[in-house]
Amino acid sequence: MNVKTSFAVSFRCNFAPQKSNHFIVKNQIDEILLKDIFTKDDLIALLEANESDRKKIFALSSEIKEKYVGKKVYFRGLIELSNICSKNCYYCGIRKGNRSVDRYMVGEKEVLEAAQFALDNGYGSMVLQSGERSDRKFVNEITDLLKKIKDLSDGKLGITLSMGEQSEDVYKEWFEAGAHRYLIRIETSNRELYYKIHPHDSKHDYETRINALHTLRNIGYNVGTGVMIGLPFQTVADLADDLLFFKDLDIDMCGMGPYIEHEDTPLYAFRHLLLSKKDRFRLSLKMVAILRIMMKDINIAATTAMQAIDKLGREKALKVGANIIMPNLTPVQYREGYLLYEDKPCIDEEAEQCKTCLEARIHLAGDEIGFGEWGDSKHFEKRNNEI
Ligand code: 5AD
Ligand code: SF4
Ligand code: FES
């Protein structure tokens, strides 16, 4: 049976219109939520929904989450491996042009200790994230690390990479060394906006970034992408297009969160154009919820940036559809060095503290933790079983 149709049928009657004075009162949002496929206009209406309509969207997304991915939240222990970056994205605090950042690379011993912590504490997976570099020395270091993490854990720890754009050969090398998921955010799917938030040069080429996503898919990775929400110059229509872009690309994983200004970046000059932080957060929650409704069985991260704005940001994201959390395992002395944006949480907390904190947050959201499991995207598994 067509998967899309079966999803639609099973949810069709859950939001039966309410009766009032014998007339059926159905508003525009009710109508949209009954559809199998959302148009761009539908998505704009959902993103602009008012408070009471927002609750209907969240009720549906949370029901879909429970039904299709369950209540288990999977941990990905995050190592922010290095803040050395060859790029100059206009929004990012660790861009190459920011001279006030002390650059670091976490040592191999410390990474392996973090991997051991992940293993001992039942985290099924790790994420290695870094500024973008493609020199051979760096590529070799990552290849070695991957092999060592796999050896240390007897293959038990799943590994996600977030190391930006690389050649096909490098992606293959890292895949063969043990990485099996890759995150590369498109940041915005609107090409024009892309060049407003990045330099327009060969190092920040929109098409290269899109191609990277296709290359990763062809190699066999679980592929994840995402966008920033509430960027200067961004419209609700752009966000609707972002959601359609994810669907079109048939992604396995998504990580997205609010854009948060950073003083030492060029985009800071446009902060007067921004929505309030609260509104950026609200919009981000809606993006998570709508994506869960559109792509029922993918993995969606409750991102750290959500918590930078709202103390309960990650719990709220879990409640409306997210199912992945990335506890920070970066040794504390490096954390100040990885400030992509203002008010980043967990700067001083040791791995152990983040672990306890996140466990409490997950339980608060009414979920449970998938200890010792990879928790790969069900969407990926389904697609591969169909082939
Ligand atoms: N606000 C929010 N997210 C940011 N990122 C970088 N800078 C910012 C910012 N100022 C995100 C980007 C990047 C990821 C590593 O961090 O989406 O892909
Ligand atoms: Fe480098 Fe990534 Fe920051 Fe861009 S967003 S400057 S690639 S670390
Ligand atoms: Fe790090 Fe709460 S997740 S302190």
* pLDDT the model gives residue 221: 98
pLDDT, one tens digit per residue, over 222-273 is: 999 999 999 999 999 999 999 999 999 999 999 999 999 999 999 999 999 9
Quick one: pLDDT at residue 387?
A: 58
Q: In the structure, what pLDDT confidence band is assigned to residue 5 with cuts at 50, 70 and 90?
A: very low
Average confidence score pLDDT of the chain = 92
What pLDDT digit, counting tens, does each position of 85-94 carry?
999 999 999 9
170: left (phi over 0), alpha (psi -120 to 50) or beta: alpha
Burial of 275: CB neighbours in 10 Å, binned 0-12, 13-18, 19+? middle
Residue type, 234: Q
CA-260 nearest atom, ligand 1:
1
Mutate to test the pocket of ligand 1, among 91, 198, 338 (most ligand atoms within 8 A of CB): 91
Mean pLDDT (whole number) for 11-25? 45
pLDDT at 9 over 60: no
What integer is the mean pLDDT of 142-152? 98
Q: What is the pLDDT of residue 43?
A: 98
- Domains annotated on the chain, with CATH: 3-65 (no CATH), 72-386 (3.20.20.70)
Residue 278, pLDDT > 90, answer: yes
Predicted pLDDT at 349: 86
pLDDT at 346: 85
Q: Which atom of ligand 1 is nearest to the CA of 226?
A: 17
Give, for ligand 2, the residue of 80, 87, 231, 338 to mutate: max count of ligand atoms closer than 8 Å to Cβ. 87
298-339 tens-digit pLDDT: 999 999 999 999 999 999 999 999 999 999 999 999 998 999
- CA–centroid distance, 323 to ligand 1, in Å, is 20
Q: Both tokens of residue 259?
A: 């854009």
- pLDDT for 26 equals 75
Nearest atom (ligand 1) to Cα of 91:
10
Ligand 2: distance of its center to the CA of 370 in Å? Answer: 30
pLDDT band at residue 24 using 50, 70 and 90 as cut-offs? low
Question: How far is the first Cα of the chain from the last one, in angstroms, to the nearest whole number?
Answer: 15
For ligand 3, atom 3, the nearest C-alpha belongs to: 354
Model pTM score: 0.93
Question: DSSP secondary structure string, 287-324?
Answer: HHHHHHHHSTTSEEB--HHHHHH-TTHHHHHHHHT--E
Tell me the C-alpha distance between 337 and 272, whole Å.
Answer: 27
Atom of ligand 2 nearest to the CA of 92: 3
Q: What is the mean pLDDT of residues 103-118?
A: 97
Is residue 312 within 6 Å of ligand 3 at its C-beta? no
Percent of the chain having pLDDT more than 90?
84
Band of residue 358 on the pLDDT scale cut at 50, 70, 90: confident
* Ligand 3 proximity of 349 Cβ (cutoff 6 Å): yes
**pLDDT > 60? residue 22:** no
pLDDT over threshold 60, residue 6: no
Comparing CA positions, the residue from 189, 198, 118, 121 lying closest to residue 160 is 118
pLDDT at 11 over 60: no
- Which pLDDT belongs to residue 357? 87
